[in-house]
Amino acid sequence: KAGVTQTPRYLIKTRGQQVTLSCSPISGHRSVSWYQQTPGQGLQFLFEYFSETQRNKGNFPGRFSGRQFSNSRSEMNVSTLELGDSALYLCASSMTQGVFGNTIYFGEGSWLTVV
Amino acid sequence: AQKITQTQPGMFVQEKEAVTLDCTYDTSDQSYGLFWYKQPSSGEMIFLIYQGSYDEQNATEGRYSLNFQKARKSANLVISASQLGDSAMYFCAMREGESGGSNYKLTFGKGTLLTVNP
């Protein structure tokens, strides 16, 4: 079956612009989470959605937001882009939330460059 | 304090040999899960293996096994018979509160870059 699909794979934006990244989880998976990966900070948790509700949020400014749709697809948005937002953004999905032993699968990521 | 510590920034191994990648963790939860992921240069995070804190047996998945020592809070990844395609970054990650359902995020270590030499 298809894995986690993220679009776009690569994008370049200008400082001050906004960007929307999309994630389609594995079929049947209802939990979607987002991570930011940078060389300096490593992998950091952004937020997690389950059944269209944000369940957890990481320590990121309000410029970072997300949502989940009824079909479990998720989008994340970054407004007023800064150079430091340049990163690989990874989406992950799992079947349900909080079930012991539930494996988390990641997509290929979206490479964002802010110039 | 770091929750996940990977002390080896880089490791080298000869093709067909076994290699152990170290991971120690810190948590006060009784229920937690430990994951290993492989990340090639393309960026995709590939799931390798999972170990739950209550699992009595060490997890194995093909050439991957997890050496879980709960008292020492270590969860080392063992790759047997290394292949050239195993060259990648490897991340250890932990999910706390496995049974609680309220904390559903992964905390990652800084990773180990594995290079397999022919």
A-chain residues near B106 (CB < 8 A) = 33, 35, 43, 45, 92, 104
Confirm or reject contact between A103 and chain B (CB < 8 A).
yes
Q: What percent of chain A has pLDDT over 70?
A: 94
Residues in contact with B1: Cβ distance below 8 Å, sequence separation at least 6, in sequence order: B26
Q: What is the pLDDT of residue B102?
A: 52
B47/A58 CB distance under 8 A: no
Of A60-64, A95-99, B75-79, B93-97, minimum mean pLDDT range: A95-99
Average pLDDT over residues B40-57: 92
Residue B101 has pLDDT above 90, yes or no: no
B105/A106 CB distance under 8 A: no
What are the DSSP calls for B17-39, one per residue? S-EEE--EE----SSEEEEEEEE
Nearest Cα of chain A lies from the Cα of B37 at a distance, in angstroms, of: 9
What are the DSSP calls for chain A, one per residue? ----EEE-SEEEE-TT--EEEEEEPPTT--EEEEEEEETTTEEEEEEEEETTEEEEE-S--TTEEEEE-TTS-EEEEE-S--GGG-EEEEEEEESSSS-TT---EE---EEEEE-
B95/A92 CB distance under 8 A: no
B-chain residues near A50 (CB < 8 A) = 104
Please name the amino acid found at residue B25: Y
Residues in contact with A106: Cβ distance below 8 Å, sequence separation at least 6, in sequence order: A4, A90, A91, A92, B37, B44, B45, B46, B47
- Residues B88 and A95: their CA atoms lie apart, in Å, by 27
Confirm or reject contact between A43 and chain B (CB < 8 A).
yes
- Residues B71 and B25: their CA atoms lie apart, in Å, by 11
The closest CB to that of A43, out of B42, B91, B102, belongs to B91
The closest CB to that of A106, out of B45, B50, B100, belongs to B45
Please name the amino acid found at residue A23: C
Confirm or reject contact between A97 and chain B (CB < 8 A).
yes
Looking at every residue in chain B, the average pLDDT score rounds to 92
- Residues B52 and A62: their CA atoms lie apart, in Å, by 34
Nearest Cα of chain A lies from the Cα of B93 at a distance, in angstroms, of: 10
CA distances from B25 to A58, A69, B2, B3, B43 (A): 20, 35, 8, 5, 24
Average pLDDT over residues B31-41: 93
The closest CB to that of B43, out of A45, A88, A92, belongs to A88
A101/B102 CB distance under 8 A: no
Residue A110 has pLDDT above 70, yes or no: yes
Looking at every residue in chain A, the average pLDDT score rounds to 92
Q: What is the pLDDT of residue B96?
A: 83
Average pLDDT over residues B51-79: 95
